[in-house]
Amino acid sequence: MNFEYVKALHIIFVVTWFAGLFYIVRLFIYQTEALQKPELERAILKPQLDLMASRLWNIITWPSAILTLIFGTWVLSYRWGYMELGFMHAKLGFVFLLYCYHGFCHVLYKELQSGKARWTSTQLRIWNEASTLLLFAIVFLIVLKNTLSMVWGLVGLIGLAFLLMLGIRMYKKYRIKKGQ
């Protein structure tokens, strides 16, 4: 298959994988909050949210993660020389962390499907931003192809993390003020 087609498919599955990762944690937040509702509301919300999470996780997110790995390995086989460059090692390190993130989301998924909420909705909101930070790191490394720029990128990531945490705190205060 032509390199450009393989690369396009890799990018498409990266996008669908991230969409699944972003939304699954949002569903985890809703599932956690539903477990705290009165029994009547919980009886309505939990089955629907469980079904939505199951379909997203098993039909979109897991297959996208697997296809991302397959097509990413295929792309790398066309560009094996990149393995001699530091940026690729850093990028693959962040990709490894992303698969670890995915694996831990699977643990959370299983727990919430069985009705156990170990984390609060605020903790899950913070967890949701970890994938955003990984996305920024991976994209900047692959586009810039430079680990020196990674230093500035890390400074930017720390700044982004700070802004995300600030946004989460402001949203929490807003929700408390509105009584939600």
pLDDT digits (tens, 9 = 90+) for 160-175: 778 888 888 888 788 7
Which residues are within 8 A (CB) of 138 and not within 5 positions of it... i.e. 6 or more apart? 91, 94, 95, 98
Beta strands (DSSP E) in 8-130 are none
Amino acid 21: pLDDT = 98
pLDDT band at 150 (very low <50, low <70, confident <90, very high): low
pTM of the model: 0.84
pLDDT for the residue 148: 63
Q: Give the per-residue pLDDT at 106.
A: 98
pLDDT at 158: 80
91 is annotated as contributing to ligand binding = yes
Nearest CA to 28 out of 100, 140, 106, 85 is that of: 106
* Percent of residues, the chain, with pLDDT higher than 90: 64
Could you identify the residue written with the tokens 């993130």?
A: 101
Reported as a single tens digit per residue, the pLDDT across 15-69 is 999 999 999 999 999 999 999 999 999 999 999 999 999 999 999 999 999 999 9
Cβ neighbors of 72 (< 8 A, separation 6 or more) are 10, 14, 95
| Rounded-to-integer distance, Cα 99 and Cα 103, Å | 6
User: Which among 12, 10, 23, 13 has a CA at the least distance from the CA of 56?
Assistant: 23
